């Protein structure tokens, strides 16, 4: 099943994608994709997408679930990305937060912060929590996953690395977390550690990797994070990026206004963004 949200920013309705790729309006069956609506039993009780009315053609897609209570990000989680940055693969997951105000739709414009000089790109696999998780064993973690999605973890490297303090400053600007186009339930993702993910800028491939090079997979991350905080339905975990980011180029390259980005994960959909200025 593919869950999505459509409509103007701040007024999105819940929807489903049918087998023909048509957006269907699920607002008569569910208030929004959040909380208990993401539980397996609630999703199993939904009408078939084909039985729901079609949304207007060409409608904007918003982020695939309602604004999460937490956006938790994992740093240096791909062995080949750690190598390109010159960093050691961490012994435990590196955790940082992205502000929920950075959350936006998959095709919304990404805005460079005022004075930005080092805004970078990062395609990532997103994991959405479907059931409350606290001190969960790794063997039980899969039951707490509502689904998987594409996330663009946009990063201002000067703010992240050179401005002191934690990474959150470089990760939290408005529009720095495009999410979607849809949330794909686990039954349609046989192996989340065997997914190709890629990113193009102005038609040139910049990232082309696989989740198989992750150091810490989704189930491990759910278990690990639940030892330090309660994970709640709708929380988003973005799990790190493969190599090919601008910071790793020699010399480094960064985003500029007017550039066009296309990114995706096989089976989870694509995003298209134009870079603008805040």
Query: 84 near 248, Cβ under 8 Å?
Result: yes
* Per-residue confidence band for 87, with pLDDT thresholds at 50, 70 and 90: confident
Query: 184 near 268, Cβ under 8 Å?
Result: yes
How far is 181 from 105, CA to CA, in rounded Å? 7
Q: Whats the size of the chain, residue-wise?
A: 278
The pLDDT tens digits for 160-219 are: 999 998 899 999 999 999 999 999 999 999 999 999 999 999 999 999 999 999 999 999
How far is 151 from 159, CA to CA, in rounded Å? 20
User: What residue segments make up the domains of the chain, in order of their start?
Assistant: 63-277
Strands 110-112 and 269-277: parallel
The pTM is what?
Answer: 0.97
Q: What is the mean pLDDT of residues 237-244?
A: 96
* Per-residue confidence band for 88, with pLDDT thresholds at 50, 70 and 90: confident
The confidence score (pLDDT) of residue 86 equals 75
By C-alpha distance, which of 1, 6, 2, 43 is closest to 25?
6
Cis peptide leading into 266, omega within 30 of 0? no
Domain topology for 63-277: Fumarylacetoacetate hydrolase; domain 2 (3.90.850)
Query: 183 near 108, Cβ under 8 Å?
Result: no
The confidence score (pLDDT) of residue 84 equals 77
């Amino acid at each position: 099943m593919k869950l999505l949200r459509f409509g103007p920013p701040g007024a999105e309705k819940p929807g489903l994608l049918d087998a023909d790729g048509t957006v269907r309006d699920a607002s008569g069956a569910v208030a929004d994709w959040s909380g208990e609506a993401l539980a397996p039993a609630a999703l199993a009780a939904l009408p078939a997408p084909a039985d729901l009315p079609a949304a207007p053609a060409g409608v904007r897609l918003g982020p695939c679930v309602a604004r999460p209570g937490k956006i938790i990000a994992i740093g240096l989680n791909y062995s080949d990305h750690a190598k390109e940055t010159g960093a050691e693969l961490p012994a435990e997951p590196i955790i940082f937060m992205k502000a929920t105000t950075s959350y936006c739709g998959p095709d919304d414009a990404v805005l460079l912060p005022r004075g930005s000089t080092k805004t970078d790109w990062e395609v990532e696999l997103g994991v959405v929590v479907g059931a409350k998780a606290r001190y969960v064993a790794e063997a039980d973690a899969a039951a707490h996953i509502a689904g998987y999605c594409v996330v663009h973890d946009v990063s201002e490297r000067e703010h992240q690395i050179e401005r002191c303090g934690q990474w959150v400053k470089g990760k939290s600007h408005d529009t720095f977390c495009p999410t979607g186009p849809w949330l794909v339930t686990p039954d349609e993702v046989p192996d989340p550690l065997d997914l190709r993910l890629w990113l193009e800028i102005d038609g040139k491939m910049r990232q082309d990797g696989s989740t198989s090079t992750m150091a810490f997979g989704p189930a491990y991350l759910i278990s690990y994070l639940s030892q330090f905080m309660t994970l709640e339905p709708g929380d988003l975990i973005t799990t790190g990026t493969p190599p090919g980011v601008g910071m790793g180029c020699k010399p480094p390259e960064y985003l500029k206004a007017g550039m066009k980005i296309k990114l995706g994960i096989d089976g989870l959909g694509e995003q298209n963004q134009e870079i603008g200025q805040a």
